[in-house]
Structure formats: C-alpha cells, structure tokens
Structure 1
Amino acid sequence: MSPWIEMCKDLSKPIVSGQEGSIDLQRQIEICEYLIELFKDSKINDEYRNRFILSGAAKALLNIFQNWKLEDIKEQYSEAFFLLAYTSNEEIIQLLFTLNPFKGLLNLLEHSNIIIQKRGLESIFNIQLGGSRSKSKTEVHPYFDAIASLVGIEKIYEFMNRNNTTKYCKDLSAITIGYFYRARNYENVDMRINVIKQLKSVVQDQNNSLKVNAKSALNKLAQNTDNKTEIEKDGFLISE
C-alpha cells in the first residue's frame, strides 16, 4: 500500500472526542506535521500535492473540518491543508475545488483558535484565487455559486464584522468577498458599502501586507457600475 493511501486511511479514522492520548490522534498529528514540512515551500512539491489529493487524503482532512467537533480540530490539521492549497499551480487548485472544500473550511471560521480561523480563511482565499486566474476580471467568478450555495459569503462577512476577529482576518475577509464578487452587483447594499470601505482602508495603509490584494479586489469589483460608484465616492481613484 502506498504511503499516501496509508495517510488517507489514518486520517479517515474517527477520533473519540477529548481522547488526547489516542494513538490514532497522535498518528494524524504526525501526518499533518510531515505534510507541513513537505509543503512549506509553495513553489515545489506539487507532484506530492497531486498524489496526496488523488489518494483521498485531502478529502479526509476536509471531512475532519466538516464533521468533527471544533474543539477536537488541532492547528496541525488546518496548517497542513493551508500549505496544501498554498500553490500557484492551477491544476492543483482545480483538484481541490472538485473536493467541495468550502463547507469544511467555513466551519473553521467558527473555531475558538484564531490561528485555525486564519488558516481556514486563507485556504478559502487561495482556492478561489486559483479559480479566478482562469477567467478575465470582467467575468464573474467561476466559484461564486459554490460558495454562495453554502451562504459562504454571508459567513465570511459575519466573521469580518466580529469584534474579536483580528485586523488581518478582517482585511482578508473583505478581500476574499471582493474577489468572489468580481464584476457582480451586491444584493446586500450594506455589505457592498462595508466591504469596499474595508478594502479602501487597506489600500490607503502603506504598511499593510495585503495592500496589493485589496487593490486587485477593488479593480475586480469596479467592473460592476454600482460597485465602481461606491468605490469612487470621496474622490477615491482606482489604480491598476
């Protein structure tokens, strides 16, 4: 049996809630730590990413996110999946998208651990980014329906507006929503106003590491006239 199939088998084993000393739990954490080391360089090891996904092991991780109690999900699980999805290889991203990843990743936004929240959101962003590269910025996002069917946009927006959400995650939430709403009108006017306001604040912050992404999100949103009008309020100029 290949090591990838073994990983899938071990990651698919149910763990009794609160059973910290479980051999199976320790094995799963060891697998995730191995994956973290294997995938930490986003520019290499796409062949291993491909094998891991095709073995069913990536789906096993998503099943954990979707079905386990949140308190039983450890940082290593979310970190491993984040690094799996942290690649510019569009074929890998497309493979991940076929696994219907958004439901499990959205669940991570409800976790009490802010690192796990962050990795869940970043994984959603990275997967949608791969999908968005395949289309022109004047076309709607190809993954929009998949996230919308789960009320995912609203969940990310709610996460953005929580008092205890970190500044980084608030900014990335707005960027993620902006990418998904590329060339599309917001049904929720308050969401449009608040997301665009958040994006503009990121662009105007010279020290914000997400500035380029926020600028890109605004450019994508501006393909819709209502969004463009909102963006250009107060004389704000959209730069390429």
Structure 2
Amino acid sequence: MITPYGLPVVEDCIHCPLKKESWFCHLSSDLLSSFSASSHLATYPGGAILFIEGQMPRGAFVLCSGKVKLSTTSKEGKVLILKIVNPGEVMGLSALISAEAYEITAETLEPCLVNFVDGDGLIRLMERSGELGLRSAQAVSREFQYAYREIHELVLARSSSGKLARLLLSWMTGIEKDNREVRIHAPVTHEEMAQRIGASRETVTRLLSELRKKDLIRLEGATLVIKNRTALEALAV
C-alpha cells in the first residue's frame, strides 16, 4: 500500500521494508520489538518542522525515508544549514540523552516517513540494554565527528568558491571518477546552498555563474552537470 505522498506504509520496525545499515534497524528481534512499542511512525509533507532549536526534547526521530535539513539560526536571523539527513539516521538523540534543549531545527525537504521514539521509553530501554546503549553512543559519536568535519571545512576553507566547490563535490559521493560529465539532481536552491556554506544567496549565484563561464559546470533546470570534476577538486583544495 502507498500513502498519499507516495511513501510505503510501514506497520512496525520488525517488518519494515526500508531497513538500513544504521542506528537501530538491525537490533536483536526482542529489543526491536520493545523499541517499536515506544515509537510512532508518521508521514510528513515537505516543509514540516519536526522540532525547533531551543525546544526541550520529547524524544528522538529516526528518518525512514525522505530527506531532512538540520539548521541553526543566529540572533540576527542568519540561517546556517548544518546537515542534510538521509534515511536511517537519527535526529535529536544527543539532546534527549543530555536532557538539554534541541541545538538545531529539523525541517523536512520532501515527503518523509519518520519514526518518533518516545524519550522516556527510549531512556528506559538504554538503561536496560547494553546493545541499545552502545548503538546510541555510536550514533552520537558519528554526529559529533560529522560536526567537527563540517566546522573544519567551513572555518578553514580559503574562500567561498572553495566552500561551494566542496559542496558540489559532496553530491558526487560514490560516483566513480572518470572523464565523463556527471549529472546530479540539484537537491537545494541557491538560498539553501548559501546557508550550507555560510554565504549570501547573491554570492552563490555569482559563483555559480563564474563556474559556468569557466566551463566547469552546466545547469539544466534542476539538474547540475559537472563538466570538469578535476578542476572543481582543485578549486576545493
């Protein structure tokens, strides 16, 4: 059965057809049953807010399908996108464990299937299960390792053009390097690109225009064509 958003209907974690190599999908069957009892699956349209920065956590969110952006906002209203969450990843876990407010805002980028895990139930399961405790520690560790890498790239990159080149190259992860053009469906707008690299939308528009003039990229509607990956990698250094 398919939902109105074109997403598959998932009854529980045990029989889920969307299982990933991730935080909890491959827990032991007994633990997964207990986990399912504390969780609630729901579908969300694009643009839905799962939680906001400064809100006290009620639980954690596991993304089953779709994409979610995590962002933070300065006092002046400047938005910085910290990460695009992919299926199988967990959101809000560090805030729940520390009993501190969410550090970020989570917003769906497209229709998503999300599993909300009740905070009290999850904490009780962690206290009883070493397996879940270890998986949770690993998930939080990966979250902070990713944050450290992003801070390094954002702060130490020499220029906005280098940051933009890194962003474009990050969308090519897993694509074999050769001399052919690479076509990628551009997942974000110019404004969102700017929020990813800490620049203005006008700067991103100008930099993309410069890359086109240098024949490094080509834009075909929502499709980004990487014409010269080697030159783009040199710019990203």
Shorter-chain TM-score above 0.5: no
- TM-score scaled by length of structure 2: 0.29
- Flag the structure with larger Rg: 2
More strand by share: 2
- TM-score scaled by length of structure 1: 0.29
Q: Which has the higher contact order (CA 8 A, sep 6+)?
A: 2
